[in-house]
Chains A and B, each alone.
Chain A
Amino acid sequence: MTVRKNQAHLTPTEKRNFVDALLELKRSGRYDTFVTTHNAFIMSDTDNGDRVGHRSPSFLPWHRRFLIQFEQALQAVNPEVALPYWDWTVDRSPTSSLWAADFLGGTGRSRDGQVSDGAFAVTAGKWPVSVRVDGRGFLRRALGSGGQQLPTRAEVDAVLAMPTYDTAPWNSASDGFRNHLEGWRGVNLHNRVHVWVGGQMGTGVSPNDPVFWMHHAFIDRLWAQWQARHPGSTYLPAVQTRNVVSLNDVMRPWNDVTPADMLDHTRHYTYDTAA
């Protein structure tokens, strides 16, 4: 059974295996198919039209399925690998071990944002940024440069306390847990972390940065924590609703999985500590 661990607790071997599996997915071309899929949904999910991956109730089950598929691709390279999660309420500094040269590498240099240490620096030759929105073919970051702080545990707890999963109009204007976690409304959790990292993480091609998976693994874990705190609450909408994925509708692009299928993560993986 796959156990997803806090990235801060990985051994040097686990870090190396994870990085090597990422590099192999990149080399084989599989990695970039995930970037392409994500950007296609980013550009097509709209508040007043069909919306599946973002700004909608299925933001959480869509990314859960997306991460499972990605994790399975990693495990086809090395069965020992699981996706780690980044608890940015704790590891909230550019000096965290997450950003060391033996793991993801650090922030970008000031001139052009280029990450210049670690396995994902363009100078290492193994991480070309090919699916992109501008001409720059190198990984960029600007950790914390906008002056914003990462969300605090207190801010996370305030969102986890919201008992209603999601509300009409089921988009970026909604009240409820999903939209506050996604960050279009309120203290802003998920969106703010993308902005804090900067570089490609602030764009539609955010999975170009490997930290994308560790950020979303933590968002996924917060969904599990929310479920544990609110056993009487569940995914909404339960009934078919125009433009959005209800509990028993299938989700694109897989078309064979529903939010209902994604509610219990323990069928696919567990976490290192109880949610």
Chain B
Amino acid sequence: MSQLSRRRALGASATALAGLALTGFVRTAAPSGPPAAEHGNRAHSPGGSGHTPTQPKPFDESFKGRRIQGAPSHHGGHHGVGYSVHIDGEELHVMQNADGTWISVVNHYETFTSPRAVARAAVVELQGSQLEPLL
């Protein structure tokens, strides 16, 4: 992604536009059943909201020596997810499931309750390695 779109993504957290885009996504993503409750990765969802997709909040923190950031985004990454996650400034490709859980390209077969949880899991998986730029 370009530097311009990255700055835009990082700066989008407070914009109403991004929030509306995300709300629209979440509404259409409402699940017909309760798959989260029977999923095999409950260890990642202590007290998680579980069945109802919620609009994730922005975050910006240091975790195990890496800067992880998440923010609503109107550029939508590769497929209009409406939320961008970065590790040390490089975008982590994330996706929201119909049940509201999240995955990333480095933990693609395991679900997490929030973008922050998926970013933290990616930091653990990366063991200090840098993300490659998204194509």
Binding site for B on A (CB under 8 A): 39, 42-44, 46-49, 55, 112-113, 132-136, 148, 168-169, 171-173, 175, 183-188, 190-192, 194-195, 202-206
Contact = CB atoms under 8 A, between A and B. Distances in A.
Nearest to A50: B79
Given A43-B93, A204-B106, 15 more contacts: A44-B78, A46-B81, A47-B97, A133-B105, A173-B33, A173-B97, A184-B39, A185-B38, A187-B40, A188-B40, A195-B110, A203-B105, A203-B107, A206-B108, A206-B109
B68 interface: no
A168 B32 contact: yes
A243 to B, nearest CB: 11
B80 interface: yes
12 contacts: A42-B108, A43-B78, A44-B79, A132-B132, A134-B130, A173-B31, A183-B109, A185-B35, A187-B40, A188-B41, A194-B109, A202-B106
B2 interface: no
A138 to B, nearest CB: 11
Q: How large is the interface on B (under 10, 10 to 19, 20 to 34, 35 or more residues)?
A: 35 or more
Interface string B91-107: 00101111100000111
Interface in B85-135: 93, 95-99, 105-111, 125-127, 129-132
Interface of B: 25, 28-29, 31-33, 35, 38-41, 78-81, 93, 95-99, 105-111, 125-127, 129-132
Contacts of A43: 78-79, 93, 95, 105
